[in-house]
Amino acid sequence: MAGNDQKAHAASKKEKREIARERARILREQEAKRQRRNKALMIGGALVALLLVVFAMLQLLGKTGQPNTGTYTGTARPAKIANITDDYGIDVNAQGVAGKSVEGAGVLSVYSDYTCGGCINLESGYAAKYHQHAEAGELSVRLYPVATLNNPISDNATAAMFYVATYAPEQAWAYNDALFERTAKTVKEHASHPTEAEFADIAAKVGVPKDVVNDLPASIAAEDWKGVVKSATEAFRGKNYNATPTLEVNGTVDDSWLKDGNVEAVIQAAIDAGKK
Q: Average the pLDDT over 239-248 and give the result.
A: 97
- The pLDDT score that the predictor gives to residue 28 is 74
Domain spanning 90-275: CATH superfamily: Glutaredoxin (3.40.30.10)
Q: Average the pLDDT over 156-184 and give the result.
A: 98
Q: Which of 89, 72, 93 is nearest to 81 (CA)?
A: 89
Q: Is 248 helix (H, G, I), strand (E, B) or coil?
A: strand
Residue type, 66: Q
- The pLDDT score that the predictor gives to residue 15 is 65
**Range name among 56-60, 138-142, 170-174, 202-206 with the lowest pLDDT average:** 56-60
Per the rule left: phi > 0, alpha: psi between -120 and 50, beta: everything else, 266 is alpha
- The pLDDT score that the predictor gives to residue 53 is 46
Mean pLDDT of the chain: 87
Q: Which of 44, 150, 149 is nearest to 52 (CA)?
A: 44
Q: How far apart are CA 161 and CA 110, in angstroms?
A: 14
- The pLDDT score that the predictor gives to residue 190 is 92
56 compared with 219, residue with greater pLDDT: 219
**Range name among 1-10, 75-84, 171-180, 263-272 with the lowest pLDDT average:** 1-10
Length reported for the chain: 276
User: What H or E segment, with its residue span, contains residue 143?
Assistant: strand 139-145
34 compared with 253, residue with greater pLDDT: 253
Using CB atoms within 10 Å of the CB of residue 204, give its burial: 0 to 12 exposed, 13 to 18 middle, 19+ buried.
middle
- The pLDDT score that the predictor gives to residue 48 is 41
Q: Which of 73, 145, 94, 85 is nearest to 115 (CA)?
A: 145
Does position 76 have pLDDT exceeding 90, yes or no? yes
Determine the distance from the C-alpha atom of residue 247 to the mean position of all C-alpha atoms in its chain, rounded to a whole number.
Answer: 16
In Å, what is the CA distance from 44 to each residue of 34, 48, 51? 15, 6, 10
Alpha helices in the chain (DSSP H): 2-60, 117-135, 152-167, 172-189, 196-205, 210-221, 223-238, 257-260, 263-275
* pLDDT tens per residue, range 14-59: 666 666 676 667 667 666 666 665 554 444 444 444 444 443 454 4
14 compared with 204, residue with greater pLDDT: 204
Q: pTM of this prediction?
A: 0.78
